[in-house]
Each structure stands twice: as C-alpha cells, then as structure tokens.
Structure 1
Amino acid sequence: MNVAIKTVAVAVVAPVTAPGGPAHRIARAIRHRIRARSDSDAGMTTAEYAVGTLGACALAAGLYKVATSTAVLEALAGVLDRALHAA
C-alpha cells in the first residue's frame, strides 16, 4: 500500500508545478520526504513499540514488587492507622 501511495503522490505533485516557483519548492520538499521514508526503516516503529512495552512491563513489575513488600505494606498500614485514629 505504501508503494502505491508514494507513486501517486510523486505523479500528482510533480506535473502541476512550475520550476523555480514556491509550489515547485514545496513539491520538491514533499518528494524528498516521500523518498526519505524508504523501506530501509521498515518495522522500525514496531520495534520501538516493543521496546517501550517491555520497559513499561519491567517498570510495572518492579513497582509491584516494591508495593507488595512487607516494609511498604507496614508503612501504609501505619499511615492509615494514624489517619483513622487522629482526633
């Protein structure tokens, strides 16, 4: 699908611009961006999401271990006890 979009975008943008004008510069910039998005980065976004997801899971696991430790549970119980028995 991306290949068809790239071909159509270049075919539509290229013929309607006069050389040297502002529309030509814009069209050239668009063609440059389209070419810059080549298949050399295929799958890069998926890999970045995978690394981000793994990092989030690791952080969640670490926070779960800390939050369920006896020291933290005793501290929370102490805070709640003091808050409920405050005059």
Structure 2
Amino acid sequence: MVMRWCLRRYAAAKARADAGMATAEYAMGTLAACAFAAVLYKVVTGGAVDEALRSMIGKALDGQF
C-alpha cells in the first residue's frame, strides 16, 4: 500500500517537472520567432513579391462586372 502511494507520488512529481518550458527554451523560441518574422518581412517587401501583389490588386480592382 505504501509502495503504491510512493510510486504514484513519484510519477506525479516527475510529470510536473516536465510540464513546461524553461526560461532558456522561451528565449530560444522567441529568438527563432523573431528571426522568422524578419526573414518573412524581407521576402514580402522584396521587389518580386511587391510587384506580384500590386499586379494582383490592380487586376482585381480593374475587373469588369
């Protein structure tokens, strides 16, 4: 009976220990998200993408009904 209780307590404590991210993991995740956002910003504001978006919007606004 006592042994089962100890095993259940150990399993519960171990599960809680791995329940969340550590501060270093948050920092790395934030850094990766910022790097991805910077790359995406450069791609979207680049000449080819900008021209394609302008072309699509221009065609949509000049459509005949």
**TM-score of the alignment, normalized to the shorter chain, above 0.5:** yes
Query: What pairs with 1:7-86 in structure 2 (closer than 5 Å)?
Result: 19=1, 25-34=4-13, 36=14, 37=17, 45-86=22-63
TM-score by length of 1: 0.57
Percent identity between the two aligned chains:
47
Larger Rg: 1
Q: Secondary structure at the match of 2:53?
A: helix
RMSD: 2.4
Give the aligned length: 60
Deviation of 1:30 (Å): 1.6
The unaligned stretches of length 5 or more in structure 1 are 1-18
* Runs of 4+ with >4 A deviation: none
The unaligned stretches of length 5 or more in structure 2 are none
